[in-house]
A and B are shown apart, each in its own frame.
Chain A
């Protein structure tokens, strides 16, 4: 494999990873936009999706597409629980200026609870989706000479892209979607025009949970997972949303791609860079992936605090 081929391969892997990041980001950005909730449980809810998908495939041997779609109603219910049991009570009880912080901390508590429940059922081992259980979706990799794209990678990217497209269509083509956007731009006026804010919030929470489950499934198709693993995905989702600029779906996808590609490039290029200074280092610790992500985040925030395609404050 030549250097150029290696670079292309790295970028392709980066794009696939970026799609997953963006997929985690959309639900998060929806809930933030509509309700100003920085949902720390988003990754954990996504992992419920991951483990249910895993369970349906391995314990019951259910068709993979069905395993993706069957839990969707359950995630609507999880959304209702999240809203009725946590977000709405917090909204009613705290002063408006404290809501963002209180809601964020409550969702953090929920994340810990979900993590514990997942560990109880599935243990804390690192798991992967056995490719045999994916049946007809398994397929072979697409290869161009030495460069290859795994079919599972493509599947997760298409899951991410179709989630985004469907959400976009819902937000722009339906009256409820219109109301969701209106509430996120001017809550008081949307209510004066007849939108029931509580119902819109409930709906948005439900949709955000479904999007989370899709992200969890997309992630599990290419990556290994364990109950605590959601934390880093959640942080990456926050980064992607902030990078892209709040309220911009295209910006967020771009943010995901930038993050995914640069992480992968760093992991490929940095070892040889380091070893030219420190000959005894020839492998980078895996944690460097996240260090790179956070550094890029920091740099972009310094240059463009409103995000790449953000709307200002």
Chain B
């Protein structure tokens, strides 16, 4: 952790991430209004003392909605990514370590899946499984799997033929040790960085699904859904789009910078 905070990138990422996670944990408690309460007198307002980030088309307080939406949004992004990365990394590592025909068969199937665009793939899964936040998360995770598997596999392959892995094989080490202690620690960096980038994607795909009526349903305060709902009123109150948009961007940036710093901190060669 000390290593991460030393670089400017790591520091910025950590601060942003802390902010976002703080919102996710404490947001609902800090919200000044009930996120679903209508204030018909002050619809589509810009920032003011009473409503620091303005109000939406029903006069609901945007700050309160944003704070209430944080837990679901972040949980969705993290959950979908964690699930997708775990599944993809597992498949990729198996393919990379096993090699031969196992590798060929797994990778050809994944290549077929990769040819389908992420969003289309997600839609397909949601259509089969049914809508709702839980299924949307699962769908995003499954859509991420082929890409993550490919990245994990190439990372494992590049390490697998290094001399220190051969040395371990020549020593007569078991497969568990070779994969867990020789290959994985050296193959993890690209997987971690890719995962942190994908958190932001997951939030965006979640938003799109919400917009299409297949993910979170109104009156949920999920950030993506907030952007989607605000689209109609974009010209009358741009704040409605900008505020949740910035929140999503900051969360994405935080995860991304933190991921970069984490990769550097995990590499002993980077330390002096």
* Chains A and B form a bound pair: no
